[in-house]
């Protein structure tokens, strides 16, 4: 038995993996990873895999980055953790100062959580509590987009709409208002992204007009709906939404957990619409992919609604044990240093163009409905019928075939159902992008080289698909 098999057997004896049907591993071997360097992950037998999905969208400057490593090493000898209630420390203060300086003007206060889902919970609770403190207790519902994803905790699931993740737990979820997504994959033939996004906003406008008295906030993933299949839309939707939220007195929550820190081509997606949300939720790339940390960056108006004498009970009494952990904050500070010192956003433009060029040939593939891109995210949607965009039955797991082929070739590509996507670390080279495009093309040919074998029931819902 090889080293990989030894570690796999030990794993399967004790672990329950996330987002996984564990029975799959009777046929699909786990890949135990010993070390990482740059874009590469290496298993216990020396095989390397190019991390094309940034290890669940968190890693931006490569594995074992020496600059981030050193900042964490320096910090661990000073302070590993301290309660953030009544106490503070240098890394969290410096990080908060820098986040306030780099986010859109008017975002002035940072509240920390442990992870993305918890970050969303903070923003939802904060918005609801704001209106309660302002004497408007009826404003307690949330508006969200169809096909959205905001995390796995109960309130975060409530504002999501990917059935694979939410359907089982319907009885536990909050009552939210769902508005059709501006997803431009669904636009009519010949219609531009901007025109389609403007048209789809009309439903949101009417929803807010009809329900604003009971709505606390609208929450969106700006520009890219990640777990919903890397579906994309035009920035004009965000501009119109900001104007409508102001008009109707409703908060705007931007979930930039997956798309913040350069992923969409600008440091934050909201910049492309020239707007400022009331709550900006950040995590994942915040620490360069090293440690769990999340921040809700909000306004003085929101902060002031909670600022009062203790007996009024207006304080936001929400906490996490590891809130503002110094080691995580140190990793985040090193990550921000790299953004500032290495001209990252500008360099990414050339990498994004190389991704487009390397996959351009797939536009004509008979089973590719669309190759779409926003910044450093590129998605290739496989379909059984290109003309009608008829999806493959989710039960056939076509994306899994791409995943398996990529592992054989030395790449980590983890499709979302039938959507193959590139979301690599920013330290990837043009030649490595070409390699990923070659592997993806081969995998797509393999995955689409057979007829549909599963009868699609009338209640077929494309949201039930393999998670990425």
Query: Does 56 belong to an annotated binding site?
Result: yes
Assign 202 a pLDDT band (cuts: 50, 70, 90). very high
Q: What does each C-alpha distance from 381 to 197, 363, 390, 454 come to in angstroms?
A: 20, 10, 11, 19
Q: What is the DSSP letter of 188?
A: P
> Averaged over 192-215, what is the pLDDT?
98
> Averaged over 258-262, what is the pLDDT?
98
Residue partners of 54: CB distance under 8 A and separation at least 6: 60, 285, 289, 423, 424, 425
Average pLDDT, the chain: 96
Query: Does 354 belong to an annotated binding site?
Result: no
Q: In the prediction, which pLDDT does 466 show?
A: 73
Query: Does 321 belong to an annotated binding site?
Result: yes
CA distance 40 to 42: 7
Q: In the prediction, which pLDDT does 467 show?
A: 74
> Averaged over 236-249, what is the pLDDT?
98
Q: What is the pLDDT of residues 62-96, one digit of tens each?
A: 999 999 999 999 999 999 999 999 999 999 999 99
Q: What is the pLDDT of residues 374-391, one digit of tens each?
A: 999 999 999 999 999 999
Assign 453 a pLDDT band (cuts: 50, 70, 90). confident
Q: What proportion of the chain, given as a percentage, has pLDDT over 70?
A: 98
Query: Does 141 belong to an annotated binding site?
Result: no
CA distance 169 to 333: 37
Angle, helices 344-359/430-447, rounded to nearest 10 degrees: 40
Query: Does 414 belong to an annotated binding site?
Result: yes
Q: In the prediction, which pLDDT does 456 show?
A: 64
Query: Does 116 belong to an annotated binding site?
Result: yes
CA torsion sign for 164, 287, 376, 256 is: positive
**What is the CA 391 to chain-centroid distance, rounded?**
23
Tell me phi and psi for residue 440, to 5 degrees: -65, -40
Q: What is the pLDDT of residues 293-341, one digit of tens each?
A: 999 999 999 999 999 999 999 999 999 999 999 999 999 999 999 999 9
Q: Please state the pTM of the whole predicted model.
A: 0.97
pLDDT at 209 over 80: yes
């Amino acid at each position: 038995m090889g080293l990989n098999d030894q570690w796999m057997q030990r794993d399967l004896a004790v672990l329950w993996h996330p987002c996984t049907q564990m029975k799959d591993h009777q046929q699909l071997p786990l890949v135990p990873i010993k070390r990482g360097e740059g874009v590469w992950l290496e298993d216990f037998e020396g095989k390397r895999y190019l991390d094309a999905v940034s290890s669940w969208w968190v890693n931006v400057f490569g594995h074992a980055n020496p600059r981030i490593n050193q900042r964490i090493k320096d910090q661990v000898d000073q302070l590993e953790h301290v309660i953030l209630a009544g106490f503070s420390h240098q890394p969290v203060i410096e990080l908060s100062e820098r986040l306030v300086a780099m986010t859109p003007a008017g975002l002035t206060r940072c509240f920390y959580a442990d992870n993305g889902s918890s970050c969303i919970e903070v923003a939802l609770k904060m918005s609801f509590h704001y209106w309660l403190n302002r004497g408007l207790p009826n404003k307690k519902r949330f508006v969200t987009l169809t096909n959205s994803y905001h995390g796995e905790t109960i309130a975060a699931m409530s504002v999501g709409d990917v059935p694979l993740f939410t359907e089982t737990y319907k009885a536990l979820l909050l009552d939210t208002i769902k508005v059709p997504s501006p997803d431009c994959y669904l636009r009519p033939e010949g219609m531009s992204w901007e025109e389609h996004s403007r048209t789809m906003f009309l439903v949101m406008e009417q929803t807010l007009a009809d329900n604003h008295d009971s709505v606390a906030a609208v929450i969106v993933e700006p520009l890219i709906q990640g777990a919903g299949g890397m579906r994309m839309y035009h920035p004009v939707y965000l501009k119109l939404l900001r104007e409508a939220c102001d008009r109707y007195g409703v908060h705007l929550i931007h979930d930039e957990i997956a798309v913040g820190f350069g992923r969409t081509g600008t440091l934050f997606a909201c910049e492309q619409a020239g707007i400022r949300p009331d709550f900006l939720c950040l995590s994942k790339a915040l620490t360069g992919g090293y440690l769990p940390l999340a921040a809700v960056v909000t306004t003085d108006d929101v902060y002031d609604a909670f600022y009062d004498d203790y007996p009024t009970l207006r304080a936001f009494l929400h906490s996490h044990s590891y809130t503002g952990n110094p080691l995580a904050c140190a990793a985040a500070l090193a990550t921000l240093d790299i953004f500032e010192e290495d001209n990252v956003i500008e360099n990414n433009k050339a990498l994004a163009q190389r991704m487009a060029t390397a996959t351009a040939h797939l536009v004509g593939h008979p089973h590719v409905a669309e190759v779409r891109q926003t910044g450093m995210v590129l998605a290739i949607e496989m379909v059984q019928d290109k003309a009608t965009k008829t999806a493959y039955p989710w039960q056939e797991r076509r994306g899994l075939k791409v995943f398996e082929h990529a592992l054989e070739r030395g790449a980590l590509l983890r499709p979302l159902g039938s959507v193959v996507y590139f979301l690599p670390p920013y330290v990837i080279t043009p030649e490595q992008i070409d390699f990923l495009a070659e592997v993806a093309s081969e995998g797509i040919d393999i995955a689409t080289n057979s007829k549909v074998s599963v009868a699609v029931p009338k209640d077929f819902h494309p949201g039930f698909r393999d998670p990425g």
